[in-house]
Amino acid sequence: MHQARIVGVGMTNFGVHDQPLPELFSSAAFDAMDDAGVDAPAIESFYLGNAMGGQTERDTHLAPTLASHIGLAGIPCQRYEDACATSSNAFKHAVRAVEAGQHDVILVGGVERCTPTTGLDTPEMTSVFASASHRQYEQPTGLSFPGVFGLLTTRHMHEYGTTEEDLAAVAVKNHHHGTYNPRAQFGSETTVEEVLESPIVASPFHLFDCCPFSDGAAAVVVANEEAAADFSGESVAVSGVGHATDTIPLADKADFTATQSARDAANQAYEQAGVGPDDIDVVELHDCFTGAEVLAIEALGFFEDGEGGPAAANGETALDGRIPVNPSGGLKAKGHPIGATGVAQLVELTEHLRGEAGERQVEGARRGLAHNLGGDAGTTIVSILEVDA
Amino acid sequence: MHQARIVGVGMTNFGVHDQPLPELFSSAAFDAMDDAGVDAPAIESFYLGNAMGGQTERDTHLAPTLASHIGLAGIPCQRYEDACATSSNAFKHAVRAVEAGQHDVILVGGVERCTPTTGLDTPEMTSVFASASHRQYEQPTGLSFPGVFGLLTTRHMHEYGTTEEDLAAVAVKNHHHGTYNPRAQFGSETTVEEVLESPIVASPFHLFDCCPFSDGAAAVVVANEEAAADFSGESVAVSGVGHATDTIPLADKADFTATQSARDAANQAYEQAGVGPDDIDVVELHDCFTGAEVLAIEALGFFEDGEGGPAAANGETALDGRIPVNPSGGLKAKGHPIGATGVAQLVELTEHLRGEAGERQVEGARRGLAHNLGGDAGTTIVSILEVDA
């Protein structure tokens, strides 16, 4: 089996972009190709993540359209849609294709516009996002995603005594990290008081517990070890990728606080990489809501079940903490252009492993983990990247 | 490398189905699993094709949702969207995963509802379909898909003298085949006169040159040779799969009548299978419009360029002709529930190779080819199935 490596990375700022998707995506794609030192003819296939383009901007069949736009017409292209885990699933399949020797060099990218640049306002976009919840059992009740994660988090508070202040501390930490990230949508600090005084969106989440709607794009070039050695980009190894699902609708889940698909995906990734949670130096995870970060740090094995609540308040997940979580600012502060989010996590990790993360650098980071979740905690993909020993 | 085999097939009737997608899909999936003799725990992954569920019925993140519905929660799931080539791309990736030994047994399926059961009328659905054309250059002009294929076909008529009567003969042939297919949406004959007297949709296409909007689902179980030998379903080999794209927008194409992605995909599939066009006994191809069949039979190498026009009128592509094309009735008569179409072609071929195609059986068929096209002839996937020598 070949080893898949990330040889080049690129991403746009996350925030508001009033550009058509092909333009927005090309910025990230060309940056990744330049970073890798890869010219277009070397790219054998294109794996795209875009979640909602049909609904938000009447734009489908996007994979070959974007490929054409950046000079890759002709190669096999595919679009993945797996709710918020969309581009991580594209990445997983690209990694598997490289591992199997089916392709030597692949461009993986994600792009999405979720702000009013699409012509949709916040309630309309919330409704579009809700199409990823269960059509028959959840959508008719008005359950949108703040509510989905509000339910999971409420159960965690009930079982373990996690508090609204614990949740607010996640927002405070990720906003603080975001101040070091020039690509982050929110580059300003917040406080526990400000979070708790912001309006309730869906109990227990206040507005500042929720990630924003964002436009953005991200891309990585994945290559096998031989191809990677020929390119100028400093590459990192993809040492493990795990992918699992859980029951949909939410009500069918055996355990509301476990986010079982994350546990299963993490175990697969740890097994492929031959490591465990203690071997991870830096984490980018799916904090679509503050409570989601609490559930994730337990599911990934960094904290015992029930002990994730106070982690941010105690500084354990800060940049200089025991296990730095979301140095980028996470979805909460960096932003969440759905289809771009998974690949953007990999861009962030690659920069840490290369020592190129600037003020937010996790010092000496040699192994990073990305956790990207979709829908009703229904899909999770966990990827482990590392620098060579 | 493992050999991928189709070990079980299932599909619904194509037509009008007033059922939620999970219900509709489960009929096809359970039929495929029963046909294969495969129980749910043996299925390791699920590859779904659904093109427009977000736009047509507010239903996304469908892969794990459908998996949950049929008892497969937990396994890795992914949804592909590549316009009308959607489920063939899901199939391609499943085949590659089996060939690489990444999975032993995979469920591949496609499902779509495109009739007014979605709440959308024909003009609205035409508009949804048009989201697969180029957002900036084509959609603003009002170009929908009858127009896209009308342009390509008009060029073929100009270059080679293909006539409206030639096109009508494709509809007549495929409607005739459809009378033998109990799953076809249109089970009635038509005539050249009836086609030519039907209203113009987009020149040169009359209404009866166009495939209908349809609801439907199809599924196949793909397994490696060892797993296939353990199951009761009579399996057929997947001997080649090719996948290529072409420039989008349409105006950038070097040659309007070549449908270059079909040529490239066919060449890849022929090379993998070690065969050529003369070795194919039965073909299911993407006749979304009659002119698309003319372009495809040339691109696939069954006819010289410019000689595909009269093929149907001359009986060469009939059930008892030199190269039987669309014994199922094709998209034209069987129907075209977008995300289900690619997999349905594979179901049809498998039945021919098993000798189970009833009145429409191509006698002695030992090798079949499926051609599934997406968008502005922008994606094509060609698959070759065969029975063992």
Q: Between B61, B100, B376, which is nearest A83 by CB?
A: B61
* Catalytic residue selected from A2, A17, A77, A84: A84
Chain A residues with beta carbon closer than 8 angstroms to that of B60: 51-52, 55, 81, 83, 131-132
Would you call B140 exposed, middle or buried from its count of C-beta atoms within 10 A (0-12, 13-18, 19+)? exposed
Bridging pattern class, strands A45-49 and A77-81: parallel
Q: Between A60, A139, A245, which is nearest B74 by CB?
A: A245
pLDDT in tens, chain B (389 residues): 999 999 999 999 999 999 999 999 999 999 999 999 999 999 999 999 999 999 999 999 999 999 999 999 999 999 999 999 999 999 999 999 999 999 999 999 999 999 999 999 999 999 999 999 999 999 999 999 999 999 999 999 999 999 999 999 999 999 999 999 999 999 999 999 999 999 999 999 999 999 999 999 999 999 999 999 999 999 999 999 999 999 999 999 999 999 999 999 999 999 999 999 999 999 999 999 999 999 999 999 999 999 999 999 999 999 999 999 999 999 999 999 999 999 999 999 999 999 999 999 999 999 999 999 999 999 999 999 999 86
Residue range A240-266, pLDDT digits in tens: 999 999 999 999 999 999 999 999 999
* Catalytic residue selected from A17, A103, A336, A352: A336
pLDDT higher than threshold 70 for residue A285: yes
The ipTM (two decimal places) reads: 0.98
pLDDT higher than threshold 90 for residue A230: yes
Chain B 158-217, CB below 8 Å of chain A: which residues? none
What is the predicted pLDDT for the residue at A363? Answer: 96
Chain B residues with beta carbon closer than 8 angstroms to that of A249: 68
pLDDT higher than threshold 90 for residue A389: no
**How far apart are the CA of B363 and the nearest CA of chain A, in angstroms?**
34
Nearest to A238 by CA among A4, A1, A17, A2: A4
**Coil, helix or strand at residue B188:** coil
Residue range A292-312, pLDDT digits in tens: 999 999 999 999 999 999 999
What is the predicted pLDDT for the residue at B389? Answer: 66
Q: Which of B52, B81, B267 should be substituted to probe chain A, the one whose Cβ sees the most A Cβ atoms within 10 Å?
A: B81
Cα distances (Å, whole numbers) of residue B116 to A184, B23, B62, B188: 43, 17, 20, 22
Using a CB–CB cutoff of 8 Å, tell me whether A272 touches chain B. Answer: no
Residue range A70-120, pLDDT digits in tens: 999 999 999 999 999 999 999 999 999 999 999 999 999 999 999 999 999
Contact B68/A132, CB-based, under 8 Å? no
**How far apart are the CA of A79 and the nearest CA of chain B, in angstroms?**
5
What is the predicted pLDDT for the residue at B388? Answer: 86
Chain B residues with beta carbon closer than 8 angstroms to that of A254: none
Partnered with residue B268 across adjacent β-strands are none
pLDDT higher than threshold 80 for residue A225: yes
Contact B74/A132, CB-based, under 8 Å? no
Nearest to B319 by CA among B365, B353, B276, B286: B365
Task: Work out the pLDDT band at A388, boundaries 50, 70, 90.
Answer: confident
What is the predicted pLDDT for the residue at A319? Answer: 97
Chain A 280-319, CB below 8 Å of chain B: which residues? none
Contact A60/B77, CB-based, under 8 Å? no
Q: Between B73, B252, B378, which is nearest A61 by CB?
A: B378
Average pLDDT, chain A: 97
Chain B residues with beta carbon closer than 8 angstroms to that of A99: 100
Bridging pattern class, strands B367-374 and B379-386: antiparallel
Contact A252/B73, CB-based, under 8 Å? yes
Using a CB–CB cutoff of 8 Å, tell me whether B2 touches chain A. Answer: no
**How far apart are the CA of A163 and the nearest CA of chain B, in angstroms?**
30
Cβ atoms of A10 and A27 closer than 8 Å: yes
**Coil, helix or strand at residue B74:** coil
**Coil, helix or strand at residue B258:** coil
Partnered with residue B368 across adjacent β-strands are B282, B385
What proportions of chain B, in percent to the nearest 5, are helix, strand and coil?
A: 40, 20, 40
Work out the end-to-end distance of chain A between its first and last CA atoms, rounded to an integer number of angstroms.
19
Using a CB–CB cutoff of 8 Å, tell me whether B66 touches chain A. Answer: no
Task: Work out the pLDDT band at A348, boundaries 50, 70, 90.
Answer: very high
Using a CB–CB cutoff of 8 Å, tell me whether B100 touches chain A. Answer: yes
Chain B residues with beta carbon closer than 8 angstroms to that of A80: 78-81
A176-203 mean pLDDT: 97
Residue A113's φ and ψ, nearest 5 degrees, are -120, 125
Dist. CA A227–CA A231, nearest whole Å: 7
Using a CB–CB cutoff of 8 Å, tell me whether B59 touches chain A. Answer: yes
